[in-house]
A and B are shown apart, each in its own frame.
Chain A
């Protein structure tokens, strides 16, 4: 195997290197050229942290033979700064919006964002989500990055995109406020909440349903005594913002059509109480559940940074989406930016909370309650996907009309 000389432009500089034909582009960049911002973490088109720009288009460096880059232009995250060291405008937008991309994924996110904006200066939110969807970040900080790219594109008021006058230090705080894998906040706690609220019978949702009472009104009327001050008002305001009164019209109403929308909520009480509202669309033919939007009511401490808490909640949400919808399974991909739903966060400050622990423990239960509202089925196990939802839909239909079984 003879070494081959290749000529290429790297961040605007001409380079000539001799490489073995079996060298991958990511190895050329890291080992031969010493540009180590991009890394190779998965060895196979899964994580996307090896993302580089080849002739201005994003590619995974672990999936491209370096010899095929002959005569082409490569850009890495190191090449994004100005000649005087000024950070790239997209990098500045990341800081302004407290985008909590981790050290491992930030270079890839930056490059993907720059490539998008150079090809499409006015992207939609969907465009941004798609451009980031090749990067699977275990921290799940997609929402902040999406806000930052839209902020960089539109140059509008940063507060519209979740931004505030925050320096890089606060962006770090946003990432550090939540510790992935923490026993109290990770999937184990999620499963516990789901078991408590679904398998054992949701003490709130089932009782409200049996009594024919609006679930929000039921919860407001039965708040535990130890629940944080301000939570009731926060819950009411969040219900209003997600349009609960218009969307909830009572269980047991006749449902028609193939795509059925539903809304549900679930609460966790205590000093730093929170409620999660979820809106879903269920395709009753395939069993597909699409999460349309979520809204969160969260009690935080008087000294807590709202933006940092929001970013931490968004990160936690992505992990819980993966856990709830089974996207970390054998056959399917990890949650990506495409899975970020429309989200709204309402905070109530309470002196009883010293420091909020942002964790959407009630997320999967809220989704299950929304599915119950949409399709009339009560899911009692996780994950929620076509393989678990469709059998329940069929069982429910047969119970309602045994004739269907014979037809099937």
Chain B
């Protein structure tokens, strides 16, 4: 017998209404893939809870992705299903790359995309890729059905949720015709910087002439911190020429936005700056050529 998890109750509703009723009980938690919950349970931070398994609820395994329609995925869709989708790889490349870097890769066979998005503290960075793709959460709960932007969800640190809320689906809008995205993650081994890694994701849409940045969405995460959307940098980039100088200016701005303490770590500041620049360069390059992101595998850190 290995580690002993604390006791909890486990219920398996077969309808959405049944699940919402079960989730209305104080302390109830949704169990989709369950891998994040096992980790929380092993830290004994969830003793005495009721886990509400959503495996038998119809309609939560929906997954469609099309460049003209967008992405719609249900709460039960594991990361591996998304990873193997050809449109995700080509047009939602940041998300594809973020899932590809989940370690160990077996997690992707169990953990769900929505579970990873909602637990922003998880040790992988799906959430910042979803921010870059402007993901929206669709919730069902005691207050009816509603829609929340993922960044608003993070900004409220989950405070927008009420007891009994269940995230049923997530949607992402279709990318513009000449758009590309990228995700980069840099591991920082033991050093003066007490951050294990940093990750940046970006979405870039170009104008018809492919010379100007028409739309940019940029997000960053330092270690296990909350994902942040870099809106000030996005505003500076919108309408700017799609060239290295613009990316450098944005990268410089990011250091002011993120956290003043970053300036105390020149190496960390440099890594952030390089990653932001690289993500913007690569996303813009993909927007121009729409080439297969797999061709950039050799540029991974």
Residues of A within 8 A of B (CB): 1-2, 4, 20-22, 24, 26-27, 31, 40, 43-45, 48, 51, 54, 57-60, 62-65, 67-68, 70, 130-131, 133-135, 283, 285-286, 288, 325-327, 329-333, 383, 385-388, 390-391, 408
> Nearest chain B CB to A257's CB is how many angstroms away?
13
CB of B188 within 8 A of CB of A331, answer yes
**8 nearest A-B pairs in the assembled complex, by CB-CB distance:** A387-B191, A134-B104, A21-B10, A331-B196, A40-B2, A22-B5, A329-B190, A57-B109
CB of B271 within 8 A of CB of A286, answer yes
> Nearest chain B CB to A349's CB is how many angstroms away?
38
Contacts of A68 in B (CB 8 A): 31, 33-34, 53, 55
Complex Cα spacing A349 to B6, Å: 60
Contacts of A67 in B (CB 8 A): 10, 53
**Identity of the chain A residue whose Cβ is nearest the Cβ of B7 in the assembled complex:** A1
CB of B104 within 8 A of CB of A60, answer yes
Which B258-293 residues sit within 8 Å CB-CB of chain A?
266-267, 270-271, 274-275
CB of A130 within 8 A of CB of B105, answer yes
B152 within 8 A of A: no
CB of A63 within 8 A of CB of B35, answer yes
* Given A21-B7, A386-B189; 7 other pairs, CB 8 A cutoff: A43-B42, A44-B42, A48-B104, A57-B109, A58-B109, A286-B271, A385-B189
CB of B110 within 8 A of CB of A331, answer no
- CB-contact partner of B190 in A1, A48, A135, A331, under 8 A: A331
B206 within 8 A of A: no
Could you list 15 examples of A-B contacts with CB < 8 Å? A1-B7, A22-B5, A59-B110, A63-B38, A134-B104, A134-B106, A285-B274, A286-B186, A286-B271, A286-B275, A329-B190, A387-B188, A387-B189, A388-B191, A391-B267
- CB-contact partner of B2 in A27, A51, A327, under 8 A: A27
Complex Cα spacing A2 to B7, Å: 10
B60 within 8 A of A: no
Contacts of A1 in B (CB 8 A): 7-9
Are A45 and B34 also in contact (CB < 8 A) when A326-B189, A331-B197, A386-B189 are? no
Complex Cα spacing A357 to B271, Å: 42
CB of B1 within 8 A of CB of A133, answer no
> Nearest chain B CB to A92's CB is how many angstroms away?
25
Are A65 and B34 also in contact (CB < 8 A) when A2-B9, A31-B1, A286-B274 are? yes
Complex Cα spacing A65 to B4, Å: 12
CB of A45 within 8 A of CB of B2, answer no
Among B1, B6, B196, find the residue whose CB has the most chain A CB atoms closer than 10 A: B1
B193 within 8 A of A: yes
Are A27 and B1 also in contact (CB < 8 A) when A22-B7, A22-B8 are? yes
How many residues belonging to B are interface residues under a CB distance threshold of 8 Å? 48
Contacts of A62 in B (CB 8 A): 2-3, 38
> Nearest chain A CB to B100's CB is how many angstroms away?
9
> Nearest chain B CB to A393's CB is how many angstroms away?
10
CB of B271 within 8 A of CB of A386, answer yes
B167 within 8 A of A: no
- CB-contact partner of A329 in B4, B9, B189, under 8 A: B189
**Identity of the chain A residue whose Cβ is nearest the Cβ of B32 in the assembled complex:** A68
B39 within 8 A of A: yes
CB of B106 within 8 A of CB of A24, answer no
Contacts of B5 in A (CB 8 A): 22, 24
Which B1-52 residues sit within 8 Å CB-CB of chain A?
1-10, 12, 31, 33-35, 37-39, 41-42, 51
Contacts of B196 in A (CB 8 A): 331-332
Contacts of A133 in B (CB 8 A): 103-105
Contacts of B103 in A (CB 8 A): 133-134, 333
Among A31, A64, A326, A333, find the residue whose CB has the most chain B CB atoms closer than 10 A: A64
Are A58 and B106 also in contact (CB < 8 A) when A64-B35, A65-B37 are? yes
Complex Cα spacing A68 to B274, Å: 42
Complex Cα spacing A59 to B248, Å: 42
Contacts of A58 in B (CB 8 A): 106, 109
**Identity of the chain B residue whose Cβ is nearest the Cβ of A329 in the assembled complex:** B190
Complex Cα spacing A64 to B80, Å: 16
Contacts of A65 in B (CB 8 A): 10, 31, 34, 37-38, 51
B249 within 8 A of A: no
B296 within 8 A of A: no
> Nearest chain B CB to A350's CB is how many angstroms away?
39
